[in-house]
Structure formats: structure tokens, C-alpha cells
Amino acid sequence: MELEDAIKALPKAEHHVHLLGAIKPSTLMRAITETGIDSPYESIDDIERAFEFKNFAHFISVYKQTIDLITEEKYFEPMAYELLEKSKECNVKYVEISFSAPDHTRAGLDFELMMKAIERGVSRGYSDFGVKADIRIDIVRSYGLKSAMESLDLIESRPDGIVSIDIGGSEKEHPPEPYSVVYDRAREMGLHTVAHAGEAAGPHSIWGAVKHLGVERIGHGVAAIHDETLMTYLEEKGVTIESCPVSNVRTKVVSSLREHPIRTFFDRGLSLTVNSDDPTFFETDMNNEYIQLNQVLGFTLQELFQISLNAIQCSFIDEATKQRMDVEFRNEYSRVLDAIEM
């Protein structure tokens, strides 16, 4: 077995992947043609060309445009199913799928119907591919506190399969501190907590998320590299960074993968995982993320496997499942090593 094949064979878990960002161009094109909605895209090629981003702001504009093209709840079922199909190809065993529900409820779609569609996709994906998935609801900070609380009301009305909340949207325009009351309520509801921070804003955004929101994990966290005290704090408190290397390069958050801080974070002993973020938009998947870390930043097979193990330990699953998956991962890793040595 060659090294690249060994990397692909590593068991993996993913925490930071947006459902809409994983939509296949063919599925988006089907949604456009079946509903007859006005669209700038006349073909799958048009869609693929649109996903070549100039910068982070351009990415956000295309993402918002894609939101507007999903006008029926039923399309979330194939999105979820196809996401897990791709996860199987990358030997991902467990996924926490991020769903920005307010983006769609504000456009008139029904939360209950969307969640049922996602659940159907998740259920079929588990049946066909053996990939387990839970849901994270991104409350989207850009819509304000009232909307965030309404999102919690919706979660409370049907909590099945939802394990955590996140706060996406504009870091610069909407700092995390005002959302402390939302996160306090989420914890009272038994939800885990995550926040996008340090992607499009500086270390202060991460400080706000960990100090005022009390999050367990930080999405992206790139800006932590500029604050030595912050890195020490994250390490001591065990706050996990959900790193999305290829995404950060594609949106120009970092100039190149070689400049990405994940190597420094790992070497310092920070808790981190590796994730594809918006795999369709960024032409990536979990295999590619791992391979790029190996080829560009020199992560060894053992180090990549350590990231996989950490992803299990940081997952929002029960301890018994963590222990079982830890054993399964170690057994698979042993088989990979045996295949290399043969």
C-alpha cells in the first residue's frame, strides 16, 4: 500500500461540514430546473465556475445566492444522503453536519419539514454507507438575538438528532459577546456549543467565544496564531479548534496551505480536528484534507491518525460510543500499518 492510499484508508471523523456547502452541483441544478426558479446558472458547468472564489466576501455572496435557490424542503434529503455517501468514500465514520436553519426559515421554508428531510437522508446514509451523523444548528449571528432565540425555540420543539449549536455569519459585524444568553439557554437545553471564530476576524473574536459563550469548540480559529496567550489558554482549557485548511486557502483567509497555522497548533499540543467545511464549494473532501497536510505540511501517517483519534474524543457522542469507536479506529489503523509493511 502506497502512503497516499494509506492516508485514504485511515478512519476519520468530521465535525465542521455545512450541509448546503456539500450540495452536489447536479443536485443544485435539479432543484433549479424542477422548481423553475430564476437562476444565473444554466448548466452544471456554470455552477462549478461560480465556485472559484476571489476572496472571503465573494464566497459569502455565492453562498447566499445558493441559499435562495433551494425553495423546497425536500432537497435537503439528497443533500444529507450525498454528504454521507462522500463521507463513506473517505472512510469517515461519524459526521456532525452543520445546518444553517435560519437561512431557510427566513425564506419561508418549514423547519419541521426540513429536519424530516435531513433525517431521511441521514437514515438512508447510515443504512447504505454505515456512516453515523448528528446535526448542529447554526443560529447565524447576522440575524440578531431574537432570531437566535427563535432558533432555540424550534430546536426545543423537535430536538431529535440535534447535538449542538453554532454561530456562523459575519464575525466583524456581529461579535459573539451579545449571544451569551443564547448559549446559556442552549446548555440548559442539553446542547453542546461551538462558534465560528478567528476566520474573518482577529483573536478578539476567539476570546469572545471562549470567555463569553463558553464554547467547547472553535470553528476555524486561524487567528489564534497571532496571540500566544490565547493559544496557551485554548491548550489549557482543552478547547478544540475545528481546522478547515483547504477552505481557509480557498477563501484567502491564509495565503497558502504552507502558511496555515495548523502545524503550529498541532505541535503545541492544541486539541484540533480537520474538516472540509464546504467541500463542494472548495473542491475538497476529507481524503484531500489529510493528503494536503501530509504533502505540504509534513504531517506523518501517525500524526494524521492522532488527529482522527482526537476527532472521536472531541465528538458530541456518548462516552460508550467514543470508547467503541476508539477501539475500531485503532484496529483499522493497525490493518493499514500491516498493509504498508507487506
Is 299 domain-assigned? yes
Classify residue 24 as left (phi > 0), alpha (psi -120 to 50) or beta: beta
Task: Name which of 157, 61, 50 is nearest 101 in CA terms.
Answer: 157
pLDDT tens per residue across span 166-199 = 999 889 899 999 999 999 999 999 999 999 999 9
* First CA to last CA distance, the chain: 8
Q: Answer whether residue 83 is part of any domain.
A: yes
- Neighbour-count burial for 176-202, b at 16+ CB within 10 Å, e otherwise: beebeebbebbeeeebbbbbbbbbbbb
Catalytic residue among 199, 216, 242, 289: 199
Indicate the pLDDT class of residue 67, thresholds 50, 70 and 90.
Answer: very high
Residue 243 has φ and ψ, to the nearest 5°, of -80, 140
Torsion of CA 52, 194, 302, 248, to 10 degrees: 20
pLDDT greater than 70 at residue 342 = no
Query: Is there a domain that residue 307 lies in?
Result: yes
199 is catalytic: yes
Has residue 31 been placed in a domain?
no
For residue 61, being part of any structural domain is answered with: no
Structural domain range at position 8: 3-24+70-341
Q: Could you tell me the pLDDT band of residue 290, with boundaries at 50, 70 and 90? A: very high
- CB 38: neighbour CB atoms within 10 A? 7
Q: Note the pTM of the prediction, 2 decimals.
A: 0.95
- Name which of 7, 15, 57 is nearest 221 in CA terms: 15
293-317 residue pLDDT tens:
999 999 999 999 999 999 999 999 9
Q: Give the CATH number for residue 182.
A: 3.20.20.140
| Number of folded domains that form the chain | 1
Fill in the amino acid letter for 251: T
In a domain, 45, yes or no: no
Residue 206 lies in a domain: yes
- pLDDT at residue 82 above 80? yes
Average pLDDT, the chain: 95
**60 assigned to some structural domain:** no
Q: H-helix or E-strand containing 212?
A: helix 203-212
- If you average pLDDT over residues 286-290, what whole number do you get? 98
Question: Cell digits for 267?
Answer: 505541535
Contact partners, residue 327, CB within 8 Å, separation at least 6: none
